[in-house]
Amino acid sequence: MKSILIISLFIIVPASYAQEYPEYGVRVETVADNLSVPWSIDFAPDGRAFFTERGGTVWVIQNQSKPQPITSFDVSDGEGGLLGITLDPQFEQNHFVYLYFTYNDFFETKNKVVRYLESENTLIEDMVLLEPFIGASYHDGGRIRFGPDGKLYITTGDAGFPAMSQNKDSVVGKILRINSDGTIPEDNPFRTQVYSFGHRNPQGIDWDKNGMMFSTEHGPSGWRGIAHDEINKIISGGNYGWPEIIGDEIGKDMIKPILHSGQETWAPSGSTFYYGEKIPQWTGKFFVATLRGEHLHMISFDEGKISSHEKLFEGEFGRLRDVVESPEGDIYLLTSNKDGRGNPFPNDDKILKITPMNTINNFEECIDVGTVIESHPRQCTTQDGLRFIEGISQVPSWIKQIAKWWSSEEISDGEFSSGFEYLINNNIIRVPPYVVAEKEPESEIPLWLRKNVDKWVQGLTSDEEFLKNIKWMIENDFIKT
């Protein structure tokens, strides 16, 4: 039993594996893997993360544990299924969760938005906010988010009926805006749920710090041309042209995209503005997850206009479905390599977390930004999981206890010496540089050392005097592990 205890004391738990990208100043670690087409994610004030899989399952990640399924629905296949999820801005008080999904109703495919009441990681249906409307095996939109005005915004695709995008009496091919109870806000432009129209398949929405709304939208892939995926600035009542115009084309009272992909297909999906301070080089940028493009698109603005844009992580993680800033200031990515159009990597699909590259090198640097555990020696853990142990000149009491076991031959020489070798080599026990061993070499761990251990445990020999013997014997290969 004591041998097992010794091993556990000498092992330092490593940080989670992460891949570093020095060119961006960030690293990317895996939060969850072996998923099946995760589609949308949102965070609760208590630290839980809720996400959907397109196949119909809602999951929760709690206390950095493995995802746990909390409910499942019968949904349609194709590009539809269980899509968007968002939590109420007052979730801490009302525990409302909103879901968008595509389902089969006899021989018809339909979409709807439903509000649920969450209790202890279970969902109970509360009310249907957006009554069932026409859906399809593709072009179902599906993103739902609360805006800074407290209203719920919903993106819908044209469901394979392009002309309906121009019909303001239909909810198809639109961005919708409703109250959290499903009623229509009095300031909506057409006194219906419709906020903007003329959309083909918008899958991402977010707002900048000034409250301006932006969306991503899939461009055509057939009779109307190809590619020309869009980034749009959304205004109330705006007509974004589908199927009348694409790209730089002009139509009466129709709004062109502020950026499009030309003849290249990005297939943009989820999007987010990043205003965290954790990755300062990215603060204020607009990020778009791309599917066909297999990259994270980063867009910079200057006085409301796009000043530059570039591709990040191209081909590194495959198809990306969603990108969200977490409450802690990290960026989360959801891959979509199992959606039938990708080439899955091992352990796909995944939820990835982008954090800054570690710049903390020791305990003293960690205490300014990390969490300190008042143990002996003290430990400090950074937000991204790295752990540092305080360098101290006095040896902790638990080491003295282990030494006492060794001196009484309750544990082996190898267990005792390997532990001290690890602690010294990793600077957990510091041997002052002025300590110089003066003893003559011995061919094995000597009996005098066991006697000195007894004196040291009783406090009759100093830490430095005891450790200089251990260090000297390790360096001269008389203590072998």
**pTM score of the predicted model:** 0.75
Give the per-residue pLDDT at 413: 76
Of 127, 133, 69, nearest to 101 by C-alpha is 133
Cα separation, 25 vs 463, in Å, equals 42
Residues 13 and 147 both lie in one domain: no
Mean pLDDT of 154-171: 97
Alpha carbons within 13 A on the beta-carbon side of 87? 23
Tokens 């076991």 correspond to 405
Token readout for 85 is 């999820």
Question: 170 and 78 in one domain?
Answer: yes
Q: Is the pLDDT of residue 362 over 80?
A: no
Handedness of CA 92, 94, 95, 97 (dihedral sign): negative
Q: Give Cβ neighbours of residue 235 (< 8 Å, ≥ 6 apart).
A: 196, 213, 255
More confident residue, 148 or 478: 148
The one-letter amino acid code at 57 reads T
The whole-number average pLDDT for the span 185-196 is: 98
Listed residues 356, 383, 410: the one ending a domain: 356
Average pLDDT, the chain: 87
For 375, residues 6+ apart whose C-beta sits below 8 A from its C-beta are none
> Are 305 and 162 in a shared domain?
yes
287 and 363 share one domain: no
For residues 272 and 374, state if they share a domain: no
User: What span, in angstroms and rounded, lies between the C-alpha atoms of 371 and 383?
Assistant: 8
pLDDT tens digits, residue range 433-444?
544 455 555 556
Same domain, 299 and 178: yes
Q: What is the mean pLDDT of residues 147-154?
A: 98
pLDDT at residue 466, as a whole number: 74
pLDDT band at 391 (very low <50, low <70, confident <90, very high): low
DSSP, collapsed to helix, strand or coil, labels residue 323 as strand
- Split at pLDDT 50, 70, 90, the class of 21 is very high
Last residue of a domain, one of 336, 356, 376: 356
- DSSP assignments along 228-278, one per residue: --EEEEE-TT-B--TTT--TT---TT-PPPSEE-TTS---EEEEEE---SS
351: closest CA among 32, 28, 138? Answer: 32
Q: How many residues does the chain have?
A: 481
Pair of tokens at residue 395:
């040896």
Domain stop point among 356, 375, 391:
356
Higher pLDDT, 475 or 184: 184
Lowest mean pLDDT among 239-253, 280-294, 398-412: 398-412
Q: Which phi-psi region, left, alpha or beta, contains residue 106 (left: φ > 0; alpha: ψ -120 to 50)?
A: left
- Whole-number pLDDT of residue 5: 35
Write the pLDDT tens digit of every residue in 392-426: 545 566 677 777 787 777 887 777 777 777 777 76
Nearest to 203 by CA among 262, 134, 154: 154
As a whole-number percent, the residues of the chain with pLDDT over 90 amount to 66
d(CA 173, CA 304): 26
> Are residue 395 and residue 269 in the same domain, yes or no?
no
DSSP letter for 94, please. Answer: H
| Domain limits for position 456 | 1-20+359-481
Residue 163 and residue 255 share a domain: yes
Going along 57-193, which residue ranges are E strands?
Answer: 57-61, 68-72, 82-87, 96-105, 108-119, 122-134, 144-146, 152-155, 174-178
Residue 377's pLDDT is 67
Residues 157 and 118 in one domain: yes
- Please provide the DSSP assignment of 340-386 as one string: SSS-PPTT-S-EEEEEEPP---SHHHHTTTSEEE-SSS-EEE-TTS-
- 426 and 283 in one domain? no
> Are 167 and 309 found together in one domain?
yes
Q: Could you give the number of structural domains in the chain?
A: 2
* CATH number of the domain encompassing residue 77: 2.120.10.30
Measured over the CA atoms of residue 474, residue 476, residue 480 and residue 481, the dihedral's sign is positive
- Give the pLDDT mean for 427-437: 56
Q: Please give the full DSSP string across 402-415, using - where no structure is assigned.
A: HHHHHHTTSS-HHH
Claim to verify: residue 177 and residue 278 sit in the same structural domain: yes
Q: How far apart are CA 158 and CA 170, in angstroms?
A: 10
